[in-house]
Structure 1
Amino acid sequence: MAYETILYDVAERICTITLNRPDRLNAWTRQMHLDLKDAMHTAGADPDVRAIILTGAGRGFCAGADMGGLQAIGAGAATDRSSKAQEGLPGGSTLAEFKMNYSYFPSIPKFIIAAINGPCAGLGLVIPLYADLRFASESAVFTTAFAQRGLIAEHGVSWLLPRLIGLPAAMDLLCSARKFRAPEALALGLVSRVIADDKLLAETRAYATLLANTVSPRSVAVMKRQLWEAEFQTLAEATVQANHEMDLSFQTADFKEGVAHFLEKRAARFTGK
C-alpha cells in the first residue's frame, strides 16, 4: 500500500508502519497525520494483522512538528484543531475520548508497539505515548519541546503523561522541555525496554511475533479496550464489564482452542473468533 509520508508493510501477521521523511527526521506534517491515521485504521480492520509496529525511517523517530508548518501558523495561517470523530472499528474502544485527532490509537483493536529509534520530540513524543507499549533504542533522545516553542501540553498529553510516569515527573518534562535519554525514559516508565540500536526492530518484531502467534487476538483486543477504558471507570464498573466480557469469552472458538492446545500440548491455532 502506497502513502506519501509513511511506509506500510504486512508480513507474518505483523504490520510495520514507518514514518518516512528521513531527511527531515520524520518531522510531522498534516499529510503524515492523514497517512498514519488511514494506515492504522487499515491495519486495525485487516484480519491478517495481529500486531502493529510504529517506527521511523533513518536516524530518528520523529522530530516533532515540521518547522515550516509552525512558521506558517506563526504568520497567521489557519490551523486544523478539529475534534472530528472517525468511525470506530469492531472490537476497539468506542469512547469519545479515543476518537480525537491524535488519541485514536486505543480505538484500534490491535496491539500497537512504538519502536523509538532516535530523536523523539514534541508531537513526535505524544504519538508513541498513545501506543500500547514503547521500546527505545539506546541512542533515543526525548523532549516534550512545547515550552521551548511557546506552546502548551498538546493533544491530551497533560492527561496521558501523568498516568504513565506520575504527576511530578510529567511536570518536570513538560515545563522544562529538557532533553532526556533512553535510560531515564526506562527508569521513569515512559518506555518498557531499551535495546541496542541495531537490534531494536528485530527485538520489537520478536515481541510482536509472540502476540501474533501465541495468544488470542480476540483476547488482546478485549483486554486492550478494558485497560484503556478503565481510566474512566470505577472498580465496580470495570468489574461489571469484565464479568460480561468473561461470559462472552466462554462462547468463543478461541476459548475452546485455548483449552485444547494446552491439554494437547501443541501450538495454538487461534482465529480471533
Structure 2
Amino acid sequence: MTTVEKENSERIGPLQSQVIVTIHTIQAMKLWQGRKATDPKLRNSIMGLPGFISRLNAIHFTSSFDDPYADWALIIVEDKYNSSQKEIAEITKTIDKIFQKVPKQISISDNLNINPIDLTLISKSPLGFSGVYLLTEYDELIRKILQLRHIGLIGRTNADNFIRDASRVMRSFYSVIQYYKNAGVARDDIAANNARARQAIEKLGLPPKDILEGTKRSEYAPVIHKRKLANTEPVISDEKTEHFVPNQEENAQSDLED
C-alpha cells in the first residue's frame, strides 16, 4: 500500500444511512415511545424502540470486544425476534381470514392515516432494525384490526383482545434486554478466572458453553477485536442484579399492560 493509499484509508469514515419509519396508529406510536415508571410498585417503565436500539448499540459494541455476555444477549434478542415475528404472523393470519368474509362485490382500500408520523432513527446494530421491522408489521396489523371493527366484521371486545395480544408480543420483545448488565469482561478474563470474571459469574451466571467458547454467535454479531475493553468498567454493583435471560422477562409480563 502506498503512502497516499494509506492516508486515504485512514481518512475515510464509516458508512451510515438514515432510516425513516412511518407510523399510522396510536398503538404503534405508544410502543415507539415506551413508558416511564410513575411508581415502580404500580407502573413499571416499558422500553420503547429508541431505548431498545440504544441498548442494542451498546451490546453490539461490547460484543466486538469478545464479551461472551454481550454475545449471549444478541443471541437472546435474535431468538426472541424470530419467535415474536411468528406470533405476530399468527395473529395476522387470523385477521386475514376474517377479511375473507367481505363480499366480493365490495372493494375496501387500505386503512391508512391521513396524517401519519414520520420518525427518524439510526441503529449501529443490525439487530436494532429487527425492532423496526416488527413495529411496522404490528402497525399494519393494528390498522387491519381497526378496519375490521369499523366495517362490522368484529366487535369491540374481539378487536380489543386482538390488539392486547399483539401489544403483549411487542412489549415482551422490547423488554427482552431490559435486564442486561454490562459485565465488562472478555473471554480471556473468564479463562484466567480473574476477579472481574468471578464477579460477573457470581452476578450473572455462566453463559452456555458454546457461547462461552465462541463457537455460537448471533448471525448479526460484529467482528471480534482481540483487545481489552478500553475505558470500559463493569456496571455490576453490589446491589441485586436482575438477569436478562428470557425467564426474567416473562416474569415481568404483568407490568406490560397499559
Q: TM-score, normalised by structure 2?
A: 0.24
Which structure is higher in helix share? 2
Q: TM-score, normalised by structure 1?
A: 0.23
Q: Bigger radius of gyration, 1 or 2? A: 2
